[in-house]
Amino acid sequence: MLFFTLILLIVFIIGMLWLGWWAAVKSTGKTESEYFVAGWTTGSVGISFSIFATLASAGYALGTIGVFYGNPAALTGFAFGMVFAPWFMWFMGKRAWAIGRKYHYSTFTDLIGDFFQSEKLRMVVSLIIVIFFTPYLSVNLIGPGIILNQASGGTIPYWVGAVAFGVVCIIYTWRGGMRAVIWTDIAQGLIMLAGFAIIIPIMIGAAGGWYNMWEKLPEQIALYKPKGGSFWIVFSWFWIIGFLQPANPDRNTRLLVAKDLFTLRKGVVATVILLNIATLISFFLGWSLAVAIPGITPTDKVMGAAIVKFAPFLMPVFMIVVWAAGMSTLDSGIIGLSAMWTKDIYRRNINPKATDDRVYTVGQILSLLFGVVALVIALINPKDLWFYIAAAAAVSMMWLPLIIGALYWKRGTTAGAWAGFVSGVIVTVWYYYVSKPPIPGPGGASFIGMVINVLFFVVVSLATKPLDPRHVARFQGIFR
């Protein structure tokens, strides 16, 4: 088993490194747009698979399925969120792409800084998101390290798996930029779909078959029966998947890479299909495992426990699925954060006269830096890391009202943007680190923070001098 595991892993690693190298070969030159948005040449397949694969992280393959195993009420909100998220991304993307293509944007902080005419706002938003979001990247190294240890029967220690995983992902992202991220995401998405297609029938069989699974499904996880779940738990998961995920910098960058608007539209439609498949995967695995192997705690260990018990020969396959899921999210986060700091910190404030070639090099260096930092955090693996990761994702969401305001609301002002963003971050941090939020569920703190954010943004904007209509027309006027 160990020999087969290593062979499968080596083939996977070689494939990812080759795709990264080939993406670099096919690049159109050492330019900022090439490295961060693939030269605006991405097709609908690349967009849809990249969004799908980025969302289906190692946390999805291990933790999210475990959540549905233990609390299927969350699956209802997750399912609604999965359907809603692509359309919300289209709502942002159809304008963001057009503006970004016209003004050569590679990050949403480009849009925020230019629309609200504030370099300080651009820089603060970028700094806060990068600081809080970097720990989020580390979780995608933890799962692969653990699963390789399990697949090797404990022969390969956790740190070896985490380092190998991190080095491979960092290398191809550093070498090929966004183009490598897109190409590897397609491959990794296909690997995940193929792997789950093999695993699901076996797990349903372990539950006694489809009909037996429904007959034995415990009352507490039968969502379509009375008292199936809490409203706030359902809403919280809808909020996280439907709004928070599209707001994350590793996801929404995909809205800027399409070669044209029609391609982006097709990509969004395809994303709806892929995310519904991801929902069905969660449904089949979460519910079948609840019947086949009840009582596993913590629930994020249920997939590994089930495979060890019912189909140990599939552990190498599941390991590759987890590695593909983790890489597809880690690479997106690395390139997204690198773009923000390269554009917002380096080119805007440190070296405004930097050439494209120089910016390309700095982007590569920062990609290495963020990847290494995430790897170090994963190796330290503090016991409360998951808590900080949840908080980081929630805080990173607070730039969303500013993005929507810049795209759609003519009355938004610089003062309003400052008030909304700062208040939203403070409230979200307060309810994660200091006080328990009054709304239960994983999204309670971010929801309250967002309400405060929007309230301050709107009220302060209406109370302060509006932006010059001619300036606003440079952004929102192109859609008339």
* Phi, then psi, of 42 in degrees rounded to 5: -75, 135
- Decide if 265 contacts 90 (C-beta within 8 A): yes
Q: Has residue 401 been placed in a domain?
A: no
Calpha distance 318→196 (Å, rounded):
8
Calpha distance 392→419 (Å, rounded):
20
Q: Has residue 47 been placed in a domain?
A: yes
Whole-number pLDDT of residue 349: 86
Tell me the per-residue pLDDT of 19-72, one tens digit each, with 9 for 90 and over. 999 999 988 888 888 999 999 999 999 999 999 988 877 677 777 787 777 766
Calpha distance 152→312 (Å, rounded):
11
Q: Positive or negative CA dihedral for 408, 413, 414, 420? A: negative
Whole-number pLDDT of residue 74: 67
Calpha distance 229→388 (Å, rounded):
26
* Count of the separate structural domains present in the chain: 1
State the residue range of the domain holding 190. 2-385
Q: Has residue 281 been placed in a domain?
A: yes
Question: Residue 154 region, left (φ>0) first, then alpha (ψ -120 to 50), else beta?
Answer: left
**HEC letters along the chain:** CHHHHHHHHHHHHHHHHHHHHHHHHCCCCCCHHHHHHHHHCECHHHHHHHHHHHHCCHHHHHHHHHHHHHCCHHHHHHHHHHHHHHHHHHHHHHHHHHHHHHHCCCCHHHHHHHHCCCHHHHHHHHHHHHHHHHHHHHHHHHHHHHHHHHHCCCCCCHHHHHHHHHHHHHHHHHHHHHHHHHHHHHHHHHHHHHHHHHHHHHHHHHCCCHHHHHHHCCHHHCCCCCCCCCHHHHHHHHHHHHHHHHHCHHHHHHHHCECCHHHHHHHHHHHHHHHHHHHHHHHHHHHHHHHHCCCCCCHHHHHHHHHHHHCHHHHHHHHHHHHHHHHHHHHHHHHHHHHHHHHHHHHHHHCCCCCHHHHHHHHHHHHHHHHHHHHHHHHHCCCCHHHHHHHHHHHHHHHHHHHHHHHHCCCCCHHHHHHHHHHHHHHHHHHHHCCCCCCCCCCHHHHHHHHHHHHHHHHHHHHCCCCCHHHHHHHHHHHC
Structure tokens at 25: 């070969």
- Bridge partners of 258, per DSSP, are 42
Q: Has residue 432 been placed in a domain?
A: no
Q: Has residue 212 been placed in a domain?
A: yes
Query: What CATH number did the domain enclosing 300 receive?
Result: 1.20.1730.10
CA 83 to chain centre: 16
Among residues 344, 303, 366, 358, the alpha carbon closest in space to that of 108 is found at 344
Q: Has residue 289 been placed in a domain?
A: yes
CA distances (Å), origin 202, targets 198, 199, 372: 7, 5, 38
Calpha distance 444→437 (Å, rounded):
6
Q: What is the pLDDT along the chain (480 residues), one digit of tens a residue?
A: 778 888 999 999 999 999 999 999 988 888 888 999 999 999 999 999 999 988 877 677 777 787 777 766 667 788 888 889 999 999 999 999 999 999 999 999 999 999 999 999 999 999 999 888 888 888 889 888 888 888 888 888 999 999 999 999 999 999 999 999 999 999 999 999 999 999 999 999 998 888 888 777 765 455 444 344 577 878 888 888 888 778 888 888 889 999 999 999 999 999 999 988 988 888 888 888 888 888 887 777 788 889 989 999 898 899 999 999 999 999 999 999 999 999 888 988 899 888 989 999 999 999 999 999 999 998 887 666 666 667 777 888 899 999 999 999 999 999 999 999 999 999 999 998 888 888 877 788 899 999 999 999 999 999 999 999 999 999 998 876
- Decide if 84 contacts 279 (C-beta within 8 A): no
Whole-number pLDDT of residue 247: 85
Among residues 202, 216, 301, 258, the alpha carbon closest in space to that of 89 is found at 258
Residues for the chain: how many in total? 480
Structure tokens at 333: 């986060």
Cis peptide preceding 86, ω within 30 of 0? no
Q: Has residue 64 been placed in a domain?
A: yes
Count of other CB atoms within 10 angstroms of residue 154: 9
Q: Has residue 177 been placed in a domain?
A: yes
**HEC letters along 131-179:** HHHHHHHHHHHHHHHHHHHHHCCCCCCHHHHHHHHHHHHHHHHHHHHHH
Structure tokens at 415: 């003062």
- Tracing tokens 């699974």 back to the chain, one arrives at 213
CA distances (Å), origin 50, targets 39, 55, 250, 252, 361: 16, 8, 10, 11, 24
